[in-house]
Amino acid sequence: MAISLRKPQEIKKLRAANKIVGGALELLKANTKVGVTLKELDAMAEEYILSSGAKPSFKGLYGFPNAVCTSLNNVIIHGIPTDYKLQEGDVVGFDIGAELDGWFGDAAITIGVGEISTEDKALIACAKDTLYHAIGEIKQGMRFKELSLILQTSIKDAGYVPLRDFCGHGIGKKPHEEPQIPNYLDGKAKAGPKIKNGMVFCLEPMICQKESKPVILENGWDVVSTDNLHGSHYEHTVAIINGKAEILSLA
């Protein structure tokens, strides 16, 4: 399948959808405190998205039951929000999608609750730093596989490993489009499609501590590593404008 090239007017619509996602994440960041439940945070984000004139695009997507993927501690991605009350030292990831006028936005953050361990601070920093480093390295004409190598190298240099079998992706009129962008390199970096002006896609480093292999838990959604240790996840939607990546998913 071809990778779509978006016109400036289409990127403007994608930016509007993504700005709502960024705002919802900022709202959750401000309200993630000891004693609040994951379901309360999910409802808060859903209300914000709806009040902004958009729809929570994850709700019902592939059967997902909620607006926000809330991934607690050892859950790396796709966590279902529960009645669990956050406790001091918890680590929680929020992944949010929104649809506005038929265009989609998608972004994620991982944050600590109160004072967290030095180890968890480093784990979260790996996901965030890897994301921003990779975005800064993107240039028109480089290959997506080269981008995967940049992501992999950043993660491994920090002492961690990327979660396998899940990846970043294109986005536009659908929440998930071509291409798939793994956080690791399979094959040769100088192969496959090139990054071009007008492409819009999501990068999302998913960090494991020791083992890359994913396990999906009994609810059919929560993804952990076989090491069952804490994970982290960060994501932005970017557009290639004038040869460089511009982040669309900021509040």
Residue 120 has pLDDT above 80, yes or no: yes
pLDDT digits (tens, 9 = 90+) for 18-43: 999 999 999 999 999 999 999 999 99
Residue 8 has, within 13 A of its CA and on its CB side, a CA count of 2
pLDDT of 174 reads: 97
pLDDT digits (tens, 9 = 90+) for 226-248: 999 999 999 999 999 999 999 99
- Give the model's confidence band at 126: pLDDT under 50 very low, under 70 low, under 90 confident, else very high: very high
45: helix, strand or coil = helix
* Plot region of 221 (φ>0 → left; ψ -120 to 50 → alpha; else → beta): alpha
CB 68, CB 81: distance < 8 Å: yes
Q: What is the dihedral of CA 39, 44, 50, 54, to 10 degrees?
A: -90
77 pairs with which residues across the strands?
A: 223
Residue 245 backbone class (left: φ over 0; alpha: ψ -120 to 50; beta: rest): beta
Beta carbons of 41 and 131 less than 8 angstroms apart: no
- Write down the residue that tokens 């669309």 correspond to: 248
- Match 């956050």 to its residue by tokens: 86
Structural domains of the chain in order of their starting residue, each with its CATH number? 8-247 (3.90.230.10)
Give the tens place of pLDDT for each residue, 182-216: 999 999 999 999 999 999 999 999 999 999 999 99
pLDDT band at 1 (very low <50, low <70, confident <90, very high): low
Read off the pLDDT of residues 47-96 as tens digits, 9 standing for 90 and up: 999 999 999 999 999 999 999 999 999 999 999 999 999 999 999 999 99
Residue 148 pLDDT exceeds 70: yes
